[in-house]
Structure 1
Amino acid sequence: MNHRCIQLLLGLCICSLSTQAFAADALKLLYEIREPMSYRDSRGKITGLVVTPVEQAMLAADISYVWIETPFKRQLNVVEANDDAVCAVGMFKNRDRQKYAKFSLAILRDTTRPSVMLAHKDFQPDKGMDLLRTLSLPGIKILKKESASYGTVIDDAIERSRITVVGTTAESMNMAKMIAARRADFIFVPEDEALNMIKLIGEDKLYIFKPLGMPQGPERFLMCSQQVSDELLQRFNKALPK
Structure 2
Amino acid sequence: MIRFLLFTLFGILINKSLFAESEKIYLHYQDRPPYFIINKTSKKLEGGELFILIKKVMKEAEIPYEFQISPTSRSILAIKERLEKVCIPSAYITKDRQEFSHFSIPYYKDKLTVLAIRKEDKRFDKYSTFEDITRDQSLIPITKIGYSFGEYMNKVLAKNKNYISTELEKVDKNKIKVTSLEPEGILESVAHKDADYTYFALNEIQFHIKNNKKIRQVVKIKTLKDIVDAESRYFMCSKEISENTMKKINAAIKKVNEK
TM-score under structure 1 length normalisation: 0.79
The one-letter code matched in structure 1 to 2:82 is: N
- Percent identity over paired residues: 19
Structural mapping, 1:102-117, within 5 Å = 102-110=102-110, 113-117=111-115
Give the equivalent residue in structure 1 for 2:201.
190
What does the per-residue CA deviation read over 1:105-150, in whole Å, with 9 as the maximum and x for residues that have no partner? 112122xx22211112325323562221222124221111122111
The one-letter code matched in structure 2 to 1:168 is: T
CA distance in 1, matches of 2:143, 2:45: 30
- Equivalenced residue count is 219
Give the equivalent residue in structure 1 for 2:189.
178
Structural mapping, 1:93-242, within 5 Å = 93-110=93-110, 113-120=111-118, 121-122=120-121, 124-126=123-125, 129-162=128-161, 164-198=175-209, 199-240=212-253, 241-242=256-257
Give the equivalent residue in structure 2 for 1:52.
52
Structural mapping, 1:2-13, within 5 Å = none
The one-letter code matched in structure 2 to 1:83 is: L
Unaligned runs of 5+ residues in structure 1 are 1-20
The one-letter code matched in structure 1 to 2:136 is: L
TM-score under structure 2 length normalisation: 0.75
What does the per-residue CA deviation read over 1:133-187, in whole Å, with 9 as the maximum and x for residues that have no partner? 2221242211111221111222222223337221111111111122122222101
CA distance in 1, matches of 2:247, 2:194: 44
Give the equivalent residue in structure 2 for 1:77.
77
Q: Is the CA contact 1:134–1:211 (under 8 Å) kept in the aligned structure 2?
A: no
CA distance in 2, matches of 1:78, 1:147: 13
Query: Over the residues paired in the alignment, what is the CA RMSD in angstroms?
Result: 2.6
Structural mapping, 1:16-95, within 5 Å = 25-40=23-38, 46-95=46-95
CA distance in 2, matches of 1:154, 1:81: 26
The one-letter code matched in structure 1 to 2:205 is: A
What does the per-residue CA deviation read over 1:84-108, in whole Å, with 9 as the maximum and x for residues that have no partner? 1111111111122222221111121
What does the per-residue CA deviation read over 1:3-24, in whole Å, with 9 as the maximum and x for residues that have no partner? xxxxxxxxxxxxxxxxxx99x9
CA distance in 2, matches of 1:216, 1:49: 20
CA distance in 2, matches of 1:193, 1:145: 14
Give the C-alpha shift of residue 218 in structure 1.
0.3
CA distance in 2, matches of 1:57, 1:178: 35
CA distance in 1, matches of 2:215, 2:62: 47
Aligned with 1:50: secondary structure? helix
Q: Name which of structure 1's ranges 227-236 and 28-37 shifts more when overlaid on structure 2.
A: 28-37
CA distance in 1, matches of 2:57, 2:183: 28
Aligned with 1:161: secondary structure? helix
